[in-house]
Amino acid sequence: MYRLARPFLFGFDAERAHGLGLASLETAYRTGMTPLLARKPTPFPTRAFGLTFPNPVGLAAGLDKNGAHIDALLALGFGFVEVGTVTPKAQPGNPGPRIFRLPEQRAIINRLGFNNEGVEALVANVARARRKLGLLGINIGKNKDTPNELAVSDYLYCLERVYPLADYVTVNISSPNTAGLRELQEEQALRRLVGALREAQERLGSKHGKRVPMLVKVAPDLSEDDISAAARVLADLQVDGVIATNTTVMRPGLQSHPLARETGGLSGAPLLEKSTAVLRMLRTRLPDEIPLIGVGGILSGADAVQKMAAGATLVQCYTGLIYRGPGLIGECNAAIRRRKEMPSRGNLPIVQ
């Protein structure tokens, strides 16, 4: 069915199509029509961060920034859905146009800039969701007008409000679309921020009687030295997991494309190699007890398997969903299951 809907959606401006797509998913869910969009994947329980995920394929943050469509998205077959990025106060994001499709490259450039209705609105939406079909991650960030030296207060504010409702929380310090945000990945800034959040996480765990895992999402554009430094900090502070990666400001293979000069983060197929290389480096630098979520450039089951072979325990997609539709979820699940069921080939990773 998505093959029929895609030309219609691609006939609109990308941001309008985004809204129409979410509205259509919501309508399908409420009218019992979701099975026409996606075949429910075979359950494939996967353990990570002390949680059991119904299957290892999730939705990356950014599609449902305000947590308004959680049940509709879980009904597509995702094992988990990550909503946000959410900030303390509502903000409009960057001026439009701010999403650009590159269909021949199966890619998207966006410079949305954490547009969202604020954490209180997200909390209200999450509280209304049934969430019976999968787990929920909530991705938190800082407001655009909050200077980096005060960023910890924004992250703490969001963490305290989403903690009781989240299955896990992701700290987003890697979006390229909020000026200066990626500077928080620098070793000392990262240690201060994540250290404060880890203390709050333990305090909130005692207060609420449950421990909610906290993950950190990193950029694909870090140097090898920066990756090593970040891994050192995250291991020292014993974060629960790492998501690799966010979008890239680089334009691999797109230098001659007319949209290559548009500012913003590039996602989709051109990001696959770069994001997977960072994932692989992190896996060799982090202790085994810190699981990784692989995201960036997954447009097929083989791409998902490539992430698993590089060290991911779970995977997420977003741009692939735009180009391939909900069928991608089941395809990725099936490919990962086949890999898991294959006999070992010595100590070599199995790659399809």
Residue 114 has φ and ψ, to the nearest 5°, of 55, 45
Q: Are 216 and 170 in contact (CB under 8 A)?
A: yes
Active site residues: 175
Which alpha helices (H) appear in the chain, and where do they start and end?
2-10, 14-30, 70-74, 119-128, 151-162, 187-208, 224-236, 272-285, 301-309, 319-324, 327-341
SS3 109: strand
Q: Are 107 and 270 in contact (CB under 8 A)?
A: yes
Nearest partner of 13 among 146, 155, 110, judged by Cα: 110
CB atoms within 10 A of CB 291: 22
Query: Side chain identity at 5, as an amino acid letter?
Result: A
How far is CA 186 from each of CA 161, 196, 227, 248, rounded to the nearest angstrom?
26, 15, 10, 17
Q: Which residue has the tokens 């699981």?
A: 291
Q: Which residue has the tokens 């938190």?
A: 140
Q: 258: which 2 tokens?
A: 């007319």
d(CA 232, CA 198): 15
Buried b (16+ CB within 10 A) or exposed e, 112-129: bbbbbbbbeebbebbeeb
